[in-house]
Amino acid sequence: MCVFCKIVSGEIPSVKVYEDEGFLAFMDIGPVNKGHVLVIPKKHAETFVDLTEEEAAELFKRVNRIAKAVKLGLGADGLNIIINVGKASGQEVFHVHTHIIPRFENDGMKFGWRKLSYNDNEMEEYAERIRKAITPNDD
Ligand code: 5GP
Ligand code: ZN
């Protein structure tokens, strides 16, 4: 059983902020900022792209609700809402989870964004590869 399934089952303790039949939100043990929450489906799936469109929509209903609570409850100036998908993205726990990270003006946190540029027709070529791969909702 994965570590988040163990949290769902109660085998590993966690500090919960929200729970319903299918979803759980609990405090991240190593917060980027204090108040960092993880929202998960109770049913095990490895990554976000393993969810159906319907399951993803249900997850995001909870993410929206908890995000408002983190912002209001902690008086955060902003939030980062992040899902890592796969090892290459930095995912370490292979049970789908959405990070909700409270952000404060001048909190000293900087994500390592960079800004590349495209040459010639490259942007259109990338867009076309993505467009061609979009499948209809087959939930
Ligand atoms: P990832 O890199 O997979 O997107 O993020 C995994 C997150 O899970 C990390 O932020 C890490 O601190 C958190 N985490 C890992 N193990 C545990 C645990 O046993 N309990 C809790 N509450 N959080 C955990
Ligand atoms: Zn799991």
**Domains of the chain, CATH where assigned:** 3-113 (3.30.428.10)
137 — pLDDT class (breaks 50, 70, 90): confident
Query: Best substitution site from 18, 19, 27, 38 to test ligand 1's pocket, by max atoms within 8 Å of Cβ?
Result: 38
Provide the pairing of β-strand 23-27 with 37-41.
antiparallel
Give the pLDDT mean for 34-43. Answer: 98
* Binding pocket residue ranges, ligand 1, CB within 6 Å: 3, 12, 14, 26-30, 84, 90-93
Q: Is 3 exposed, middle or buried (0-12, 13-18, 19+ CB in 10 A)?
A: middle
For 13-25, what is the mean pLDDT? 98
Shortest-distance ligand to the CA of residue 46 = 2
Active site residue 97: yes
Residue 112 near residue 73 (C-beta atoms within 8 A): no
The closest ligand to the CA of 5 turns out to be 2
End-to-end CA distance of the chain: give it in Å, rounded: 26
CB neighbours of residue 99 within 10 Å: 18
3-state secondary structure of 100: strand
Predicted confidence band of residue 136 (pLDDT cuts 50, 70, 90): confident
> How far is ligand 1, taken at its centre, from the CA of residue 29, in Å?
6
Residue 9 has pLDDT above 90, yes or no: yes
pTM for this entry? 0.96
> For all residues of the chain together, what is the average pLDDT?
97
